Amino acid sequence: MHNLTLAELSAGLGAGEFSSVEVTRHFLARIKRLDANYNSFITITEEQALAQAAVADQQRAAGSVPALCGVPIAHKDIFCTDGVRTSCGSKMLDNFVPPYSATVVENLAAAGVVVLGKTNMDEFAMGSSNETSYYGPVKNPWHTDCVPGGSSGGSAAAIAARLTPAATATDTGGSIRQPAALCGITGLKPTYGRVSRWGMIAFASSLDQGGPMARTAEDVALMLNQMAGFDNKDSTSIERDVPDYTANLNQDISGLTIGVPEEYFGEGLNPLTEQATRDALAELEKQGAKLKSISLPHSHLSVPAYYVIAPAEASANLSRFDGSRYGYRCENPADLRDMYMRSRSEAFGDEVKRRILIGAYCLSAGYYDAYYNKAMQVRRLIKEDFVSAFNDVDMIAGPTCPNPAFEFGAKGDDPVAMYLEDIYTIATNLAGLPGMSLPCGLVDDKPVGLQLIGNYFDEGRMLNVAHRYQQVSDWHSRCAPGID
Amino acid sequence: MTWETVIGLEIHTQLATKTKIFSGASTEFGAAPNTQACAIDLAMPGTLPVLNAEAVRMAVMFGVAIDAEIGLISSFDRKNYFYPDLPKGYQTTQLERPIVLEGAVDIQLDDGSTKTVRIHHAHLEEDAGKSLHEDFHGMSGIDLNRAGTPLIEIVSEPDMNSPEEAVAFAKKLHALVVSIGICDGEMAQGSMRFDVNVSVRKKGEELGTRTETKNLNSFRFMERAIVQEVERQIDLIEDGGKVKQETRLYDGDTHTARSMRSKEEANDYRYFPCPDLLPVEIDQAYVDAVRASLPELPEARRARFTDSYELSAYDAGVLADDVATAAYFETTASQCGDAKLAANWVTGELAARLNSDDVLIQHCPVSAEQLAALIARIIDKTISNKMAREVFGAMWEGEGEPDAIIEARGLKQVSDSGAIEGMVDEVIASSAKQVENYRNADEAKRPKMLGYFVGQIMKASKGQANPQQVNEVLLQKLNALL
């Protein structure tokens, strides 16, 4: 049952082959039995899940229900869940139980999904390896000595280990696409503003975007159908109709022009990853797509610009964690300053502190123009690169990451090496464009991903291309060794 | 050696919206602590701000009222600092692109002249909560009810040169924002708070180093703080010292200010554009519509009062500037039918009483209708002006309607001509000597001699005889004896 996709589970529930309670029990049992190996969940919501499943079964018996009614999923622990601890992977929020739910959580609940639990993540979504979580690192099901990627590593690993058929995730600089690539699953970061950020704990507000992860493009489309939409509680969400993302999955892709940026195939790219990517592109060409070499000349500036803008926003976003209203407070503070300093020093991890310091520095008097303003200028140039590229091509494709999963601790001493793992994913966040990753091969028995970057609000066409590719490839349905 | 004082004001004005600038929580004053703070106001994780359109409208209304240029595209920035009453650890404000740009306000000075004070800009921002230092045994409590209340901060140019000018400007703005309905003007509740920037220089020289005194929530405090600060700076310089650029905090209990932080200790607020809020874009049609909805401004009202009620420029100014006073006056005038008398009462007895008891006219214990009823009794000669003042005092103390008080206190004026004639006759009969003197006196001296008779008659009537009538009858009878 755990090998079924979301679409297949939905069909099985519809055909009465099994009940939601049975499916839910099955996945909960698997999580209990296997997750000690992966550490992909922070919180398991067994009781609530079974109650939701029972309700879903009743609703299904009573009449027509949404496609996802009764199927189990998991939420990244960055999405606030009413009455369920939401930690954001941090000691700071280890005791935080929100009295409200994220819009994404509510939208999915309205469709009748069952929530198995909350998945592990890098602390405050700051990391590319899931090593910064207060709850310990998540292990890559393909190779448990290796990282699953981050920051949505818990969601990606849980799906790869067949502990949940789908999960929510967020992406600020690659946090959906990179772990999806490293764990051999499919993940999509929508256009900025497509999915509400209400109730999603902020890292870098102008870059953060929630999105779905699952094994197939079809499942991702089913999830996105529920997650996307305008929300009047988020001023940056965009008022625009949500299409049915499953409607055109099978559409012919012949005649589609796919741009291949030369900058994404340069120095630093693992040759085997490159080969897998080029093979996948060739497959798309075989289906009638036209490949066209393009240039995104400011690509090399995306990592430096990102590591000014994201920490700058984070330095302000994380100021609210001050020990006074919720979350961690140090023992016996002597005075206000002591409470601020010790609460934050004791509850934030090193990477979070590093980014707060970088951000505060970049915004400080005398440095603002040289760092923040300059980075914002670069951001505009990067966006213009894409806008002009999309005058000539319908979509852009390349590798998701330069390398397959690396071992724990491999980049621990070198934050810059870690930051460079996001070199191909960051630019889309800076431009606000949608990006997705889908499995396209194995390098050293570890998955690698093909990245698709679409024009604004072109998620439907990206899912169409991904689905067509998945009709003629089986990377997405391969299972990590040792997983039955 | 003549010193010149240079003053600029920053005025925090709470907007009278029903809900907060970025959340749906109520802005009502006086609720139990933290009962009007929602998840957004508490800066709970994952919450996001949504701009209150009404706050934008009110800010634009202020802009058009001072004929300022309106920022058709304005935007919000984050001002970062840690303080317990600031839940997010940053204040959302407008630094780079405020909604109201340059404008100007004319103030009337005591010598009758007019001075223009330029407005640099006014921007939208959120208010902070309050720290409560009492009752917590060495700890501080936080009340976040005020957190997120919309403010416009009005920033003037340093165009004022005396405490009086600063107060005139502040009062002018107070009258304006209350008149156009964007602020309740309740100073005691902190609806309007002033920061004053003060420097001194010798006439003709470059601007001196300025200090900023914060936390002034009444015109009196502001005036005192400026007077003190000017003296402090002049003394300092004359003693060979230098003024340090610093922020000072005024204590309304001790009426002293102390240095809060020097320029070197000033916070680096690390402003940057708020990524949670899109720029606010409005068009000229919106601005025009707001302009069209402006109620009568104090200036126009002043002109109307001089024209239609024939009031003096001074009275018109006092009555027209404050919308509540203007409404009070107009109700009183129309109900009693004598605008001049109504103006005298509102600017005289009523203003004095409001002032001495420190009560706003909005909370006046005597309603305009009641005052009009009182004035009507003066007009119909039931009571004298002097008696009316006594009745007014009783009304102020809550003793009820004027007629009931007049009745209860037996203050009705005796205007019965028969009764008065009788009293006059009696006094003339019992004052043979004085009558004789009157008859023999020069004609020019006679009027002065009437005082004795009037006094006797008033005494006989226990003060209730209509003095005008007494005079008439007395004169008639005495002259008949000539």
Domain residues of chain B, as ranges?
3-290, 296-408, 417-480
Q: Which stretch of A130-144, A194-208, A260-274, B399-413 has the lowest confidence by average pLDDT?
A: B399-413
The percentage of chain A sitting over the pLDDT mark of 90, rounded to a whole number, equals 95
Please tell me the distance from the alpha carbon of residue B374 to that of residue B377, in angstroms, as a whole number: 5
Helices B446-460 + B467-480 axis angle, to 10: 120
Degrees (nearest 5) of the Cα angle A171, A176, A181?
150
For the beta carbon of residue B207, count every other beta carbon within 10 angstroms: 11
Instruction: Dump pLDDT digits (tens) for B260-278.
Output: 888 777 789 999 999 999 9
Q: Which of B43, B142, B272 sits opposite A320 (nearest CB)?
A: B43
**pLDDT per position as a tens digit, B147-192:** 999 999 999 999 999 999 999 999 999 989 999 999 999 998 999 9
Quick: pLDDT tens for A423-443.
999 999 999 999 999 999 999
Strands of B175-278, DSSP E: 192-202, 211-216, 246-251, 256-262, 272-273
pLDDT of B285 higher than 70: yes
**What does the CA dihedral A451, A455, A459, A463 come to, rounded to 10 degrees?**
-50
**Catalytic site includes residue A151:** yes
User: CB–CB of B46 and A201 under 8 A?
Assistant: yes
Between A345-349, B11-15, B213-217, B225-229, the lowest mean confidence (pLDDT) is in B213-217
pLDDT of B42 > 90? The answer is yes
A388 is catalytic: no
What is the distance between the alpha carbons of residues A244 and A170, in angstroms, rounded to a whole number? 21
Assigned CATH for B417-480: 1.10.10.410
CA A472-A161-A219 angle, to 5 degrees, is: 45
Q: Are A2 and A27 in contact (CB under 8 A)?
A: yes
Cis before A151? omega within 30: yes
Q: What confidence score (pLDDT) does residue B67 get?
A: 95
The C-alpha atoms of residue A194 and residue A239 are separated, in whole angstroms, by 8
If one compares B434 and A396, the residue with the highest pLDDT of the two is A396
Angle at B440 between CA B435 and CA B442, to 5 degrees: 115
Per-residue pLDDT tens over the stretch A316-366: 999 999 999 999 999 999 999 999 999 999 999 999 999 999 999 999 999
Among A260-269, A466-475, B314-323, which stretch is predicted with the lowest mean pLDDT?
A: B314-323
Residue A168 is predicted with a pLDDT of: 98
> Cα(first)–Cα(last) distance of chain A, in Å?
11
Pick from B45, B50, B275: which is nearest to A205 by CB? B275
Crossing angle (nearest 10°) for helices B298-309 and B313-320 = 130
Residues on chain A touching B50 (C-beta within 8 angstroms): 232-235
Closest CA to B217 of B176, B243, B189: B189
Q: Which of A231, A317, A343, A379 to mutate to test the interface with B (most CBs of B within 10 A)?
A: A317
- Environment class of residue B136 by beta-carbon count within 10 Å: exposed (0-12), middle (13-18) or buried (19+)? exposed
Report how far residue A287's alpha carbon sits from residue A467's, in angstroms, rounded to the nearest whole number.
12
Q: What is the pLDDT of residue B417?
A: 73
Measured CA to CA, the distance from residue A101 to residue A86 in angstroms comes to: 10
Burial of B279 (0-12, 13-18, 19+ CB in 10 A): exposed
Give the pairing type, strands B246-251 and A395-399. unpaired
pLDDT digits 0-9 by tens, B104-152: 999 988 887 899 999 999 999 999 999 888 777 778 899 999 999 999 9
Q: What is the number of alpha carbons within 13 Å of residue B290 lying toward its C-beta?
A: 24
- Amino acid at site B70: I
Q: Which residues in A lie closer than 8 A to residue B278 (C-beta atoms)?
A: 235-236
Tell me the C-alpha distance between A292 and A211, whole Å.
28
Mutate to test the interface with A, among B90, B126, B270 (most CBs of A within 10 A): B270
The whole-angstrom separation of Cα A212 and Cα A223 is 6
Taking residues B205-219, report their average pLDDT. 92
Distance CA B306, CA B457 (A): 41
Is residue B161 within 8 A of residue B9, CB to CB? The reply is no
Q: Is A408 helix (H, G, I), strand (E, B) or coil?
A: coil
**pLDDT of res. A177:** 98
Contacts with A377 from chain B: Cβ below 8 Å: none
* B114, β-bridge pairs: B108
pLDDT > 70? residue A68: yes
pLDDT at A373 over 80: yes
Sheet order of strands, B90-93 included: B90-93, B77-80, B272-273
Cβ contacts of B92 within 8 Å, gap of 6 or more: B21, B22, B49, B76, B77, B78, B79, B125, B126, B274, B277
The pLDDT confidence band at residue B418, using thresholds 50, 70 and 90, is confident
Active site residue A175: yes
Helices A46-62 and A20-34: angle between axes, nearest 10 degrees? 160
> Which residues 205-244 in chain A show a CB within 8 A of chain B?
205-206, 232-236
Nearest CA to A210 out of A107, A100, A91, A67 is that of A107
pLDDT band of residue A444 (cuts 50, 70, 90) is very high
Determine the pLDDT at residue A114.
98
CATH number of A1-484: 3.90.1300.10
* CA distances for B459 relative to A441, B410, B434, B435, B463, angstroms: 117, 15, 17, 18, 6
Which of B46, B80, B271 shows the shortest C-beta gap to A200?
Answer: B46
> Concatenated DSSP letters for B372-412?
HHHHHHHHTTSS-HHHHHHHHHHHHTT---HHHHHHHTT--
| Reported confidence tier of residue A413, pLDDT bands at 50, 70, 90 | confident
Give residue B1's pLDDT: 61
Q: Tell me the mean pLDDT in the region A95-107.
A: 98
Question: d(Cα A105, Cα A103) in Å, to the nearest integer?
Answer: 5
Per-residue pLDDT band at A384 (split at 50, 70, 90): very high
pLDDT at B432 over 90: no
pLDDT of residue B73: 98
Average confidence score pLDDT of chain B: 92
Query: How far is it, in rounded angstroms, from Cα A355 to Cα B141?
Result: 31
**Antiparallel, parallel or unpaired: β A257-261 and A435-443:** unpaired
> Which chain B residue is nearest to residue A320, measuring alpha carbons?
B88
Q: What is the mean pLDDT of residues A121-150?
A: 97
Q: Is the pLDDT of residue B411 over 80?
A: no
Please give the structure tokens belonging to residue B451: 């005082």
Q: Given this model, what pLDDT does residue B414 score? A: 67
Helix (H) or strand (E) holding A380: helix A374-389
Average pLDDT, chain A: 97
Pairing of strands B130-132, A114-119: unpaired
Measure CB to CB from residue B278 to each of A88, A235, A365 and give the nearest one: A235
Burial B183-196 (b: 16+ CB within 10 A, else e): bbbbbeebbbbbbb
pLDDT tens sequence across B332-349 = 999 999 999 999 999 999
- On whether the CB atoms of residues A229 and A16 are closer than 8 A, the answer is no
- Cβ of A324 within 8 Å of Cβ of B276? The answer is no
The one catalytic residue among A10, A175, A196, A437:
A175
**DSSP calls for B92-117:** EE-SSS-SB-SEEEEEE-TTS-EEEE
**Range list of H helices, B87-213:** 163-179
Which of the 8 DSSP states describes residue B90? E
pLDDT at B222: 95
Interface check for A48 against chain B (CB to CB < 8 A): the answer is no
Which two structure tokens, joined as six digits, stand for B225?
């703080």
Q: CA nearest A256: which of A472, A476, A471, A458? A: A458
Contact A230, A251 (CB under 8 A): no
Q: What is the DSSP letter of A399?
A: E
Q: Cβ of A322 and B89 within 8 Å?
A: yes
* Mean pLDDT of the B61-74 span: 97
- Secondary structure (DSSP) of A290-336: EEEEE--TTGGGHHHHHHHHHHHHHHHHGGG-SSSSSS---SS-SSH
> In whole angstroms, what is the distance from residue B288 CA to residue B80 CA?
35
